[in-house]
Every structure is written in structure tokens, then in C-alpha cells.
Structure 1
């Protein structure tokens, strides 16, 4: 008997977007604790193009765990097709979304079907379509675990202590650098949900949309340097990272915190002298937290910005779009 197949995007080698190959692949079978999901949409995330470019060891791992060919992707929205015998809480026909098997490169989401750990899924909000649901998991959970609740005891591979979010309320001022991006636009909205005063940093083209999402103040980084305009901030969430991230230390009040999503190099003496904290987290799959995000989406408290959509067969074009940068929200693949 022949093995049932599906269409998927696979890597047989590492390189640029041209190595993404749309082809037939075996339909996976759900193992213990898993469900089989018929995929309707897939969120595109930085780890997808890191894997495509040849990064096969996730931060914190000591050895590569990827074997070619491999299906990239972690963020899905779709419909449960089948459930393993030991799974309760989901049934065939349920609409679900999730961040699968992260941190790892084994999500295998760029496909018509995916076997997903049930604990990594949540029910898709009824009022949210599959495209917007698929755009939520990694970016939304990153913002949630940095700002609201870590939800796990694992420290980031780049520090030896557990990340602890800062309490946010009406007396808190939060600066979000890279506020127009996937993580940034969720972080802005979550901080506003908690009542904080939010300063959004992005290019001027995004000002109107970020103010619509709730930004109290906007700084166009192409015209002004935020570290020269902002002082006495309680928290900076820097979604851009890199060597320039240390400039935000001097925007903080004593006791304030800088949370770099992409950890960089910092001077411990400078941090101690300023009396501030630098802390990072590594996002992890978490179905319960995703359900909380789903409720906020359904209520209209959170909105998802979509930069662009591409058919699964056009994953190369989606990665080419990502490489051009200045992404507003999320890029999503649709599966017909």
C-alpha cells in the first residue's frame, strides 16, 4: 500500500529563498499526545529563515538536531483531522492554532498537514480567521512571556537566571523599539491592556497604525534618536536588538529594565552603575497562554497586523519579502 502524501515545503539543502522546494511529502501520523491538523495558514518567523540559511542548532542546544530534508515552520492555524488515543480536549473538526515544538526546528508547519502536540494548541477564536490566527503564536507568545508571564522555569540560553516580567499598570511607562513588527505590535497592545503609557519607536510610515493600536507617543527613529528624547522609562522592550541596544540603558529610571528580544552584549559595570536590569527570555510553546491571547483577540482587545500573504507554494516569495525588511506585522502562508 502506498504512503498517503501531501504538499509541503521542504529543504534539501541550505541557502537563500530559492532552496525552498514545494513538493510531495508523506502525511505525518500523530504520536502519543498529538493531533493531526489540516493546515489552513502558516505564520512566517525568523527561525524559518535561520534554518533555511543553515542554522541547525537552537540556542541552548549542544548538537544539531536537524536532518535533511526538513519542513520548516512553527506557527499554524487549521482544523483537527484526527487525535491520538491519549488526547482529550480536542476532537476532529475543532479549529485550532499553535506554536509547535518551540524552541526547536521540528515544527514542520509549512505543509498541508502537521502532527502537533496537543499541549501546544489552543482553540482558534471564532471571530478570527485562519490567517490572523496563524500570525499570532510565536510573536504573541514572545510578547506575552516577556511582558505578562514567563510561564516556564527555563532561563534564556544567554543568561543564568529566569526572566521575570515587570509589573505593568497606569504608573508604568514602556518603550517598545521595533513597535511595528510582529512582536512589537503585540507588545504595544499588551502593555496598553495593562494600562501602561506606551512609547512606540518605528519608522514614520507606521505612525498612524501604531497610534491606532494605542501608542501614546511615537518616535520616528529615522529622524530622531529615542535615547536623546526619552528618560525615566520603567521598561524598554527592544525587539530589534544588536549592538545598538545598549543605548536604551540610559532611557531607564533607576530600577528600570531593558528586555532585549535578541540578546546583545552589555557592559555589566554600566548596568550596575545605572541601577537597572537587563533580562531576556526564550519563547516556548504554551497552549494555555495562547488560549489567553485567543480570548483577547476574540474580544478585540488585541488586533493582528498582516504585512502580506502568500500561497504555500510561493514560500520563496514570502522569504524574499522578509529579506527586504521593514515588515509591518506578520507574513503568512495560506494553504488551499
Structure 2
């Protein structure tokens, strides 16, 4: 069984139905999925619907998963049937909202018994995104000042925790006073409670900034960074006019899955050094309803996860 879309669109296109069991090729493994986390925006991504200009329909969403290796393809020697694993499916392939998913072996890591499948699936994409943003895109160093817009969201929570661990001076924005205690518990040194359309910020006060909210990045994100500082965007390419206006090095990136990063993440979670927030869970059979909840406020911070087996 799988959650599939035969036509382009939103959650209304998703159906729970029988689907062929995928077979791993060279360098791939098949995983019996137990948990698959949702990124609500993925139904709007071009990669979801086509690969190399070829239409991929019907498609299976949800690329963050945990489960058990059920079959290994030729050339795979470092994973075995029965291994408890988690990972991230490349975005131009069928995802893990299914009983089985096939994924390149380098996109998978052993999970360890101390981490639940739900937590592992929920952490993969936001944590890897946050880690790559701070280390590879920003080269964030101890003592630097960083501004995180949306510091308690799915990605923002990991950004706040990792930036704190790196020794940065962390300022986050939240849209409700009720979110301030959680932001501080994640490691924020300073919390700005603000309306989404507010433009009042310390001008050019930060060495780096990152937008963890989404599209339509406001101008104050650019003006908040000192000349020569870095601004990282997660949903859209930067506005080059604004970047030039404020002398900011702005860039957009798509996360790359690496096994060594997955192994580091597994160790952090197992050691209790990072919080993984779960907003809600749904059985796979109610996957359409889970995606429809993306337009409604979540009952608590964190990821939405499908329970598969």
C-alpha cells in the first residue's frame, strides 16, 4: 500500500491504494518503512512531479523515513537485511509514504535502538538542513551573532539548537509571546516577538541570518546583516537587488544527504543532545488528511509523521 498522486495538485490528489513493491538496483537498498515524515510544501516542488524532464506520475510523497532494511541491491556491502535505519530519499524519486521505499545506500544510516522511528524520521530533513546551513553555507563560528527568523519551527528549532552548540550569540524571531519560553529552552539568547510583517530590526547588527519561515523573505532580513555578512534562504533564491543594496552575501541551497551527517545526527539524538519535536501522527491510510492539515495550525511544534507499519 502507498499514498500516491496521479495528477498534479495538492492533498486532494492523494489516494491510499495498492502500489507495486519497488526493487533495489545497484547501490540501492529497499526499506520496510515504519515512519515517514511530511514536508507540506513538497507537493509544490517541481522535483516531486518530474525528473530530468520526464513526468514521474503517479508519485509517492514524503522523503524522510525510518524503517528496516528489507533487501539490498548489488554492490551494497555496508548495510544488511534487518538493519534499523533512517534517511532521506532524493527529492526526484518516489518517497516513503508507502510500505516499502528504495533509496541509494549512501542516503541511509543505521539508527540505533535508543532512537524511535518517529523521532528519526522527523529529524532527518530539518536537522540536515540546519546543519548544512550553519556549517557549510555560513561557516558560523563561536561568538558570531546570528538572526534566525522562525526559530521554533521544524527547521528553526534545529537551527537554534545547533547555533547555540556552536557558541554563537543567537537571536530568534517568533510570532507569539507564548513561543518565547520554548525558543529560550532551545538555546536562544535573545527572542524578538514580532508580527510577520514587522520591519523593526537592529540594522546591520548580525554576522549572519537565516530565514526558516518560507517564501517572501522580507527586506529587513537583508538589512539586519552587516555588510559582507551572510544571509541563507531555504525556500527561494535571494533577491539580488536587496543583497547588493545592503552588501550581503545571500544564497539559497538544497540539502545534500551524506551518511556521515546522518551518523552524527543519530549520535546526537541518542545522547539526548538535541530535541526532536513531533506535532502529530497519522496512520498511512489517513495520509491525505495529514497533508490537508498543513493549511491548519498544528497542535504543537514539530513535524507531522505518518505511521506506516
- In the superposition, the TM-score normalised over structure 1's length comes to 0.84
1:115 aligns to 2:87 (yes or no): no
Q: CA deviation at 1:240?
A: 2.2
Q: Which moved more, 1:188-197 or 1:230-239?
A: 230-239
Q: Which residue, out of 88, 100, 107, partners 2:77?
A: 88
Contact 1:99 1:286 in 2 (8 A): no
Q: Does 1:234 align with 2:207?
A: yes
- Choose which of 117, 126, 129 in structure 1 pairs with 2:113: 126
Paired residues of 2:24 and 2:102 also in contact (CA < 8 A): yes
- Give per-residue Cα distances to partners, 1:44-69, cap 9 Å, x unaligned: 01453225x996357xx6x2x33322
Deviates more, 1:282-291 or 1:115-124: 282-291
Matched length: 307
SS in structure 2 at match of 1:228: coil
Structure 1 residue 293 and structure 2 residue 293: aligned? no
Measure the CA separation in 1 of the matches of 2:112 and 2:175: 31
Contact 1:11 1:71 in 2 (8 A): yes
Query: Given the alignment of the two structures, is residue 48 of structure 1 paired with residue 42 of structure 2, yes or no?
Result: yes
| Mapped contact 1:145–1:281 kept (Cα < 8 A) | no
Output aligned runs, 1:264-275, within 5 Å. 264=237, 266-268=239-241, 270-275=242-247
Question: 1:62-101 to 2 correspondence within 5 Å?
Answer: 63=53, 65-101=54-90
In the TM superposition, residue 131 of structure 1 has moved relative to its aligned partner by 0.5
Is the CA contact 1:176–1:200 (under 8 Å) kept in the aligned structure 2? yes
CA contact (8 A) 2:49 2:59 kept: no
Equivalent residue for 2:294, pick from 284, 304, 322: 322
Tell me the equivalent position of 2:122.
Answer: 135
When the two chains are superposed, the root-mean-square deviation of aligned CA atoms in Å is: 2.3
Aligned-residue offset at 1:324: 2.0
Q: Match of 2:32?
A: 38
Alpha-carbon shift at residue 285 of structure 1 (Å):
2.4
Unaligned runs of 5+ in 2: none
| Unaligned 5+ runs, structure 1 | 1-6, 150-163
Query: Residues 238 and 252 of structure 2 are in contact (CA less than 8 Å); yes or no, is this contact kept in structure 1?
Result: no
> Using the alignment, how far apart are the partners of 2:122 and 2:306 within structure 1?
9
Deviation by residue 1:284-316 (Cα, 9 ceiling, x = unmatched): 222221111111112222111111111111111
